[in-house]
Amino acid sequence: MTSKEVGKRFSRLLARQALFFCSLIVKFLPRGWLCGFADFIAILGYYIAVKQRNIAQESLSIAFADSLGQKEITRIAQNCFRNMAKSGVEMLYTMDNPELSKELVAIEGQEYLDEAFSKGNGVVAVSAHFGNFPLALTRLKQEGYGVNVILRRMRDDKVEEFLESRRRKVGINFIHSAPRQACVEDSVKVLRRNEILFIQLDQNFGTAGVFVNFFGRQAATATGPVVFALRTGAAIVPLFIVRQADGRHKLIIEPQVEIEKKDASDETLRYNIQKITSIIELYIRKYPQEWGWIHRRWKSRPSS
Protein backbone atom coordinates (compact mmCIF):
# COMPACT_ATOMS: atom_id res chain seq x y z
CA MET A 1 0.00 0.00 0.00
CA THR A 2 1.37 3.39 -1.01
CA SER A 3 1.65 6.38 1.31
CA LYS A 4 -1.06 8.10 -0.72
CA GLU A 5 -3.48 5.20 -0.14
CA VAL A 6 -2.64 5.20 3.56
CA GLY A 7 -3.37 8.91 3.69
CA LYS A 8 -6.75 8.44 1.99
CA ARG A 9 -7.75 5.66 4.37
CA PHE A 10 -6.74 7.73 7.35
CA SER A 11 -8.71 10.73 6.05
CA ARG A 12 -11.80 8.60 5.56
CA LEU A 13 -11.43 7.17 9.04
CA LEU A 14 -11.24 10.66 10.52
CA ALA A 15 -14.24 11.82 8.47
CA ARG A 16 -16.26 8.78 9.53
CA GLN A 17 -15.49 9.21 13.22
CA ALA A 18 -16.24 12.94 12.99
CA LEU A 19 -19.64 12.16 11.44
CA PHE A 20 -20.50 9.62 14.13
CA PHE A 21 -19.30 11.95 16.88
CA CYS A 22 -21.30 14.89 15.51
CA SER A 23 -24.37 12.68 15.17
CA LEU A 24 -24.08 11.73 18.83
CA ILE A 25 -23.67 15.34 19.93
CA VAL A 26 -26.60 16.54 17.82
CA LYS A 27 -28.81 13.83 19.30
CA PHE A 28 -28.37 15.16 22.84
CA LEU A 29 -27.60 18.83 22.25
CA PRO A 30 -30.43 21.30 23.04
CA ARG A 31 -31.96 22.58 19.81
CA GLY A 32 -31.04 26.16 20.61
CA TRP A 33 -27.35 25.25 20.66
CA LEU A 34 -27.26 23.60 17.24
CA CYS A 35 -26.40 26.79 15.33
CA GLY A 36 -23.45 27.56 17.60
CA PHE A 37 -22.21 23.99 17.28
CA ALA A 38 -22.43 24.24 13.47
CA ASP A 39 -20.44 27.50 13.49
CA PHE A 40 -17.73 25.78 15.51
CA ILE A 41 -17.63 22.88 13.02
CA ALA A 42 -17.47 25.36 10.11
CA ILE A 43 -14.50 27.26 11.54
CA LEU A 44 -12.70 24.01 12.32
CA GLY A 45 -13.41 22.60 8.87
CA TYR A 46 -12.36 25.74 7.03
CA TYR A 47 -8.90 25.73 8.60
CA ILE A 48 -8.36 21.96 8.71
CA ALA A 49 -9.72 21.00 5.26
CA VAL A 50 -6.99 22.85 3.38
CA LYS A 51 -7.52 20.99 0.08
CA GLN A 52 -11.28 21.69 0.04
CA ARG A 53 -10.72 25.32 1.05
CA ASN A 54 -8.27 25.80 -1.84
CA ILE A 55 -10.68 24.16 -4.31
CA ALA A 56 -13.48 26.45 -3.12
CA GLN A 57 -11.38 29.56 -3.62
CA GLU A 58 -10.13 28.31 -6.99
CA SER A 59 -13.69 27.56 -8.15
CA LEU A 60 -14.93 30.96 -6.99
CA SER A 61 -12.05 32.63 -8.82
CA ILE A 62 -13.03 30.83 -12.03
CA ALA A 63 -16.71 31.74 -11.71
CA PHE A 64 -16.28 35.36 -10.63
CA ALA A 65 -12.91 36.24 -12.14
CA ASP A 66 -14.16 39.51 -13.60
CA SER A 67 -16.42 40.67 -10.80
CA LEU A 68 -15.05 39.75 -7.35
CA GLY A 69 -11.81 40.49 -5.56
CA GLN A 70 -9.91 38.07 -3.33
CA LYS A 71 -11.44 39.46 -0.14
CA GLU A 72 -14.97 38.80 -1.34
CA ILE A 73 -14.02 35.37 -2.66
CA THR A 74 -12.60 34.44 0.75
CA ARG A 75 -15.77 35.69 2.46
CA ILE A 76 -18.01 33.59 0.21
CA ALA A 77 -15.80 30.52 0.74
CA GLN A 78 -16.07 30.95 4.51
CA ASN A 79 -19.85 31.32 4.28
CA CYS A 80 -19.96 28.25 2.06
CA PHE A 81 -18.24 26.20 4.79
CA ARG A 82 -20.59 27.72 7.37
CA ASN A 83 -23.67 26.76 5.37
CA MET A 84 -22.40 23.24 4.75
CA ALA A 85 -21.79 22.77 8.48
CA LYS A 86 -25.23 24.12 9.37
CA SER A 87 -26.83 21.91 6.74
CA GLY A 88 -24.99 18.87 8.05
CA VAL A 89 -26.12 19.50 11.63
CA GLU A 90 -29.69 20.17 10.48
CA MET A 91 -29.66 17.02 8.37
CA LEU A 92 -28.60 14.86 11.32
CA TYR A 93 -31.21 16.49 13.54
CA THR A 94 -34.17 16.38 11.15
CA MET A 95 -33.49 12.82 10.02
CA ASP A 96 -34.29 11.85 13.63
CA ASN A 97 -37.15 14.39 13.77
CA PRO A 98 -38.50 14.63 10.17
CA GLU A 99 -41.72 16.33 11.24
CA LEU A 100 -39.68 19.44 12.16
CA SER A 101 -39.03 20.05 8.46
CA LYS A 102 -42.52 21.59 8.22
CA GLU A 103 -41.50 24.19 10.77
CA LEU A 104 -38.10 24.81 9.21
CA VAL A 105 -39.03 24.98 5.51
CA ALA A 106 -41.62 27.14 3.76
CA ILE A 107 -42.56 26.17 0.22
CA GLU A 108 -42.95 28.65 -2.62
CA GLY A 109 -44.33 27.53 -5.98
CA GLN A 110 -45.83 24.22 -4.88
CA GLU A 111 -48.56 24.72 -7.49
CA TYR A 112 -45.94 24.14 -10.20
CA LEU A 113 -45.06 20.76 -8.70
CA ASP A 114 -48.70 19.73 -8.38
CA GLU A 115 -49.41 20.83 -11.93
CA ALA A 116 -46.52 18.68 -13.15
CA PHE A 117 -47.82 15.68 -11.19
CA SER A 118 -51.30 16.10 -12.66
CA LYS A 119 -49.93 14.81 -15.98
CA GLY A 120 -49.29 11.43 -14.36
CA ASN A 121 -45.79 10.78 -15.70
CA GLY A 122 -43.74 11.63 -12.64
CA VAL A 123 -41.45 14.59 -11.98
CA VAL A 124 -37.71 14.91 -12.51
CA ALA A 125 -36.81 17.47 -9.85
CA VAL A 126 -33.51 19.04 -10.90
CA SER A 127 -31.30 20.97 -8.54
CA ALA A 128 -27.69 21.17 -7.38
CA HIS A 129 -25.56 20.59 -4.30
CA PHE A 130 -27.18 23.79 -3.18
CA GLY A 131 -28.45 24.71 0.26
CA ASN A 132 -29.71 22.01 2.60
CA PHE A 133 -31.04 19.75 -0.14
CA PRO A 134 -31.58 16.72 2.20
CA LEU A 135 -33.89 18.95 4.23
CA ALA A 136 -35.75 19.90 1.03
CA LEU A 137 -36.32 16.21 0.27
CA THR A 138 -37.49 15.56 3.82
CA ARG A 139 -39.95 18.46 3.55
CA LEU A 140 -41.35 17.13 0.26
CA LYS A 141 -41.77 13.69 1.83
CA GLN A 142 -43.67 15.28 4.72
CA GLU A 143 -46.01 16.82 2.13
CA GLY A 144 -46.89 13.30 0.99
CA TYR A 145 -44.89 13.07 -2.24
CA GLY A 146 -43.01 9.92 -3.16
CA VAL A 147 -39.37 11.04 -3.07
CA ASN A 148 -36.47 9.27 -4.75
CA VAL A 149 -32.92 10.57 -5.19
CA ILE A 150 -30.03 9.40 -7.37
CA LEU A 151 -26.84 9.23 -5.31
CA ARG A 152 -23.28 8.14 -5.78
CA ARG A 153 -22.31 5.36 -3.41
CA MET A 154 -20.03 6.61 -0.62
CA ARG A 155 -16.44 5.36 -0.67
CA ASP A 156 -16.75 4.45 3.00
CA ASP A 157 -19.20 1.55 3.42
CA LYS A 158 -19.86 2.32 7.08
CA VAL A 159 -20.78 5.91 6.28
CA GLU A 160 -23.01 4.64 3.46
CA GLU A 161 -24.83 2.31 5.87
CA PHE A 162 -25.19 5.10 8.44
CA LEU A 163 -26.78 7.50 5.95
CA GLU A 164 -28.91 4.85 4.27
CA SER A 165 -30.54 3.89 7.57
CA ARG A 166 -31.48 7.53 8.20
CA ARG A 167 -32.86 8.06 4.70
CA ARG A 168 -35.04 4.99 5.16
CA LYS A 169 -36.28 6.34 8.49
CA VAL A 170 -37.37 9.56 6.78
CA GLY A 171 -38.95 7.62 3.92
CA ILE A 172 -36.66 8.83 1.13
CA ASN A 173 -35.81 6.17 -1.44
CA PHE A 174 -32.29 6.25 -2.89
CA ILE A 175 -31.04 4.95 -6.23
CA HIS A 176 -27.32 4.39 -6.63
CA SER A 177 -25.87 5.95 -9.79
CA ALA A 178 -23.88 2.76 -10.49
CA PRO A 179 -24.31 0.27 -11.99
CA ARG A 180 -25.76 2.50 -14.68
CA GLN A 181 -28.32 0.09 -16.13
CA ALA A 182 -29.87 -0.62 -12.74
CA CYS A 183 -29.96 3.12 -12.05
CA VAL A 184 -31.82 3.79 -15.31
CA GLU A 185 -34.31 0.96 -14.74
CA ASP A 186 -35.09 2.00 -11.16
CA SER A 187 -35.39 5.66 -12.18
CA VAL A 188 -37.90 4.87 -14.92
CA LYS A 189 -39.94 2.76 -12.47
CA VAL A 190 -40.35 5.59 -9.95
CA LEU A 191 -41.37 8.04 -12.69
CA ARG A 192 -43.97 5.59 -13.95
CA ARG A 193 -45.29 5.45 -10.37
CA ASN A 194 -45.78 9.24 -10.70
CA GLU A 195 -43.17 10.07 -8.04
CA ILE A 196 -40.31 12.53 -7.71
CA LEU A 197 -36.88 11.62 -9.07
CA PHE A 198 -34.40 14.12 -7.62
CA ILE A 199 -31.24 14.72 -9.69
CA GLN A 200 -28.39 17.13 -8.90
CA LEU A 201 -27.03 18.41 -12.19
CA ASP A 202 -23.98 20.35 -11.04
CA GLN A 203 -21.03 17.96 -10.91
CA ASN A 204 -18.31 17.15 -13.41
CA PHE A 205 -19.48 14.23 -15.57
CA GLY A 206 -16.32 13.44 -17.48
CA THR A 207 -16.73 12.45 -21.13
CA ALA A 208 -20.06 10.62 -20.72
CA GLY A 209 -22.28 13.71 -20.80
CA VAL A 210 -22.39 16.93 -22.80
CA PHE A 211 -20.40 20.13 -22.45
CA VAL A 212 -22.49 23.22 -21.73
CA ASN A 213 -21.72 26.77 -20.68
CA PHE A 214 -21.47 27.29 -16.92
CA PHE A 215 -20.12 30.62 -15.66
CA GLY A 216 -18.54 31.25 -19.05
CA ARG A 217 -16.69 27.93 -19.21
CA GLN A 218 -17.58 24.61 -20.78
CA ALA A 219 -18.57 22.09 -18.08
CA ALA A 220 -19.13 18.35 -18.55
CA THR A 221 -22.73 17.69 -17.53
CA ALA A 222 -24.97 14.63 -17.20
CA THR A 223 -27.95 14.29 -19.55
CA GLY A 224 -30.14 12.16 -17.27
CA PRO A 225 -33.01 14.64 -16.66
CA VAL A 226 -33.67 15.19 -20.35
CA VAL A 227 -33.19 11.51 -21.25
CA PHE A 228 -35.73 10.46 -18.60
CA ALA A 229 -38.18 13.17 -19.62
CA LEU A 230 -38.03 12.12 -23.27
CA ARG A 231 -38.37 8.45 -22.40
CA THR A 232 -41.24 8.66 -19.89
CA GLY A 233 -42.96 11.99 -20.51
CA ALA A 234 -41.98 13.14 -17.02
CA ALA A 235 -41.98 16.85 -16.26
CA ILE A 236 -38.69 18.55 -15.41
CA VAL A 237 -39.14 20.91 -12.44
CA PRO A 238 -36.21 22.88 -10.98
CA LEU A 239 -36.19 23.46 -7.23
CA PHE A 240 -33.77 25.09 -4.80
CA ILE A 241 -33.70 25.52 -1.03
CA VAL A 242 -32.38 28.82 0.34
CA ARG A 243 -31.50 29.67 3.94
CA GLN A 244 -33.33 32.72 5.28
CA ALA A 245 -32.08 35.41 7.66
CA ASP A 246 -33.90 33.81 10.63
CA GLY A 247 -32.19 30.44 10.06
CA ARG A 248 -35.21 28.82 8.46
CA HIS A 249 -35.41 27.92 4.78
CA LYS A 250 -37.48 28.57 1.69
CA LEU A 251 -37.94 25.79 -0.86
CA ILE A 252 -38.42 27.55 -4.21
CA ILE A 253 -40.10 25.49 -6.93
CA GLU A 254 -39.77 26.81 -10.47
CA PRO A 255 -42.19 26.27 -13.39
CA GLN A 256 -41.69 23.19 -15.54
CA VAL A 257 -38.85 23.33 -18.06
CA GLU A 258 -40.36 22.51 -21.44
CA ILE A 259 -38.27 20.18 -23.58
CA GLU A 260 -37.46 21.64 -26.99
CA LYS A 261 -36.62 19.10 -29.66
CA LYS A 262 -33.96 19.79 -32.27
CA ASP A 263 -33.12 18.09 -35.56
CA ALA A 264 -30.49 15.83 -33.98
CA SER A 265 -30.88 13.93 -30.70
CA ASP A 266 -27.50 15.04 -29.36
CA GLU A 267 -28.42 18.66 -30.05
CA THR A 268 -31.74 18.16 -28.21
CA LEU A 269 -29.83 16.90 -25.19
CA ARG A 270 -27.26 19.69 -25.25
CA TYR A 271 -29.79 22.47 -25.80
CA ASN A 272 -32.09 21.42 -22.97
CA ILE A 273 -29.30 20.60 -20.51
CA GLN A 274 -28.00 24.10 -21.19
CA LYS A 275 -31.43 25.52 -20.29
CA ILE A 276 -31.40 23.68 -16.96
CA THR A 277 -27.75 24.55 -16.25
CA SER A 278 -28.48 28.23 -16.86
CA ILE A 279 -31.22 28.11 -14.20
CA ILE A 280 -28.78 26.51 -11.76
CA GLU A 281 -26.18 29.18 -12.53
CA LEU A 282 -28.77 31.90 -11.95
CA TYR A 283 -29.45 30.63 -8.43
CA ILE A 284 -25.75 30.22 -7.64
CA ARG A 285 -25.07 33.79 -8.77
CA LYS A 286 -27.90 35.04 -6.57
CA TYR A 287 -26.97 32.92 -3.53
CA PRO A 288 -23.26 31.99 -3.99
CA GLN A 289 -22.80 30.97 -0.36
CA GLU A 290 -25.36 28.17 -0.84
CA TRP A 291 -23.44 26.18 -3.45
CA GLY A 292 -20.79 23.54 -2.75
CA TRP A 293 -17.73 25.24 -4.23
CA ILE A 294 -15.44 22.44 -2.98
CA HIS A 295 -16.12 20.39 -6.15
CA ARG A 296 -13.91 20.78 -9.25
CA ARG A 297 -16.79 21.52 -11.61
CA TRP A 298 -14.59 22.30 -14.64
CA LYS A 299 -12.11 19.45 -14.21
CA SER A 300 -12.94 17.75 -17.53
CA ARG A 301 -12.23 19.74 -20.68
CA PRO A 302 -13.65 19.40 -24.20
CA SER A 303 -11.46 17.41 -26.59
CA SER A 304 -11.45 20.19 -29.15
DSSP conformation letters of the chain: --HHHHHHHHHHHHHHHHHHHHHHHHHHS-GGGHHHHHHHHHHHHHHH-HHHHHHHHHHHHHHTTTT--HHHHHHHHHHHHHHHHHHHHHHHHHHHSGGGHHHHEEEE-HHHHHHHHTTSS-EEEEE-SBSSHHHHHHHHHHTT--EEEEEPPPSSHHHHHHHHHHHHHHT-EEEES-SHHHHHHHHHHHHHTT-EEEEE--S--TTSSEEEEETTEEEEE--HHHHHHHHH-PEEEEEEEEE-TTS-EEEEEPPPBPP---SSHHHHHHHHHHHHHHHHHHHHHHSGGGB-TTS-TT-S----
**Cβ neighbours of residue 252 closer than 8 Å, sequence gap 6 or more:** 108, 109, 239, 240, 241, 242
What are the C-alpha distances in Å from 53 to residues 73, 200, 259? Answer: 11, 22, 37
Residue 272, pLDDT above cutoff 70: yes
Percent of the chain scoring above 70 in pLDDT:
97
Q: Is residue 52 part of a domain?
A: yes
**Cβ(292)–Cβ(129) under 8 Å?**
yes
- Is 242 within 8 Å of 252 (Cβ atoms)? yes
Which domain does 101 fall in, by range?
A: 3-290
The answer on pLDDT for 226 being more than 70 is yes
Looking at the predicted structure, is the pLDDT value of residue 155 above 90? no
The chain-wide mean pLDDT, for the chain, equals: 93
On whether residue 304 sits in a domain, the answer given is no
> Using an 8 Å Cβ cutoff, are 138 and 131 in contact?
no
Please check the confidence at residue 36 and state whether its pLDDT lies above 80: yes
In a domain, 116, yes or no: yes
Half-sphere exposure of 247 (CA within 13 A, CB side): 12
pLDDT of residue 106: 98
Q: pLDDT at residue 2 above 80?
A: no
Residue 154 pLDDT greater than 80, yes or no: yes
pLDDT bracket for residue 146 (50, 70, 90): very high
The rounded distance, in Å, linking the Cα atoms of 270 and 280 is 15
Domains in the chain, number: 1
pLDDT band at 19 (very low <50, low <70, confident <90, very high): confident
pLDDT band at 300 (very low <50, low <70, confident <90, very high): very high
pLDDT at 176: 94
pLDDT at residue 1 is higher than 70: no
Q: What pLDDT does 17 receive?
A: 86
- Which pLDDT score, from 0 to 100, does residue 258 have? 97
Q: State the Cα–Cα distance between residues 92 and 193, nearest whole angstrom.
A: 29
Q: What are the beta bridge partners of residue 123?
A: 196, 235
37-66 pLDDT, tens digit each: 999 999 988 998 999 999 999 999 999 988
Q: Is residue 302 part of a domain?
A: no
pLDDT of residue 167: 87
Q: What is the reported pLDDT for 29?
A: 86
Confirm whether 300 is domain-assigned: no
Residue 209 lies in a domain: yes
Residue type, 132: N
Give the model's pLDDT for residue 304.
65
Closest residue by Cα to residue 269 from 170, 216, 203, 201: 201
**Cα separation, 240 vs 283, whole angstroms:** 8
Q: According to the model, what pLDDT value does residue 166 have?
A: 85
pLDDT tens column, 61-98: 999 988 999 999 999 999 999 999 999 999 999 988 99
pLDDT for residue 27:
85
- The total of other beta-carbon atoms located within 10 Å of residue 3's CB is 7
What is the pLDDT, as a whole number, of residue 20? 85
Using pLDDT thresholds of 50, 70 and 90, give the confidence band for residue 290.
very high
Q: For residue 108, is it within any domain?
A: yes
Residue 140 located in a structural domain: yes
Residue 271: pLDDT over 70: yes
